[in-house]
Amino acid sequence: MQGYDLVQVNGVQKLAMYSMGNFISGMTWMLSPVQMQGILAATGESYMLAVNVRCDAGGCSVVRTEAIPIANYMDEHTEIVVARMSDLADGTVKLSPTWRAYYAERLALMQAYLLRSLPPTGSVRPKSAP
C-alpha cells in the first residue's frame, strides 16, 4: 500500500493516487486473531479516500482528503466482506470480543501508518518537471 500526493499544477491542487492496497482480498480467509503481526494480516487492509473538490472558472482543486481505513473480514456466512476498520473495532459490525480487539489493534497500526505516510490536507508540492 502506498500513499498519495497533493501536487500543484498550474496553480491548481491535484490528487495523485498510487497503490492503495487491495480493496477486496480473499487472502485473509484463513486469518486468525493471533496472526496480528504477520504479512497476511495486512493483505486484507487498505483505505478508501474521501476527496472534497472545489471547482471554479480556473479549474477544479482538491480542498480536503480523508483516508478511511478498511479491512476484509469473514462474516457469519463465511463470505469475505469489506468494512470500515472502525466499525470492526467498535462493535458496529457484530464480531466476537477477540476479533474486535484484533481489529482495534490493526486500526491503531493503520492510523499510525497513515499519519506517517500521507500528506496533511493543504500540504502541496509543485509538480516536478518531466
Say if 130 falls within a structural domain. Answer: no
Q: How many domains does the chain have?
A: 1
Determine, yes or no, domain membership for 122.
no
Residue 43 lies in a domain: yes
Within a domain: residue 106? yes
Q: Are 86 and 106 in contact (CB under 8 A)?
A: no
pTM: 0.77
The cell for 102 is 484484533
| Structural domain for 106, as ranges | 4-117
Given a cut of 60, whether residue 90 has pLDDT beyond it is: yes
| Alpha-carbon torsion angle 79, 82, 85, 91, nearest 10 | -50
- Classify residue 125: in a domain, yes or no: no
Name the more confident of 63 and 101: 101
Element (H, E) at 42: helix 39-43
Q: Residue 123 domain-assigned?
A: no
Within a domain: residue 127? no
Between 19 and 50, name the one with better pLDDT: 50
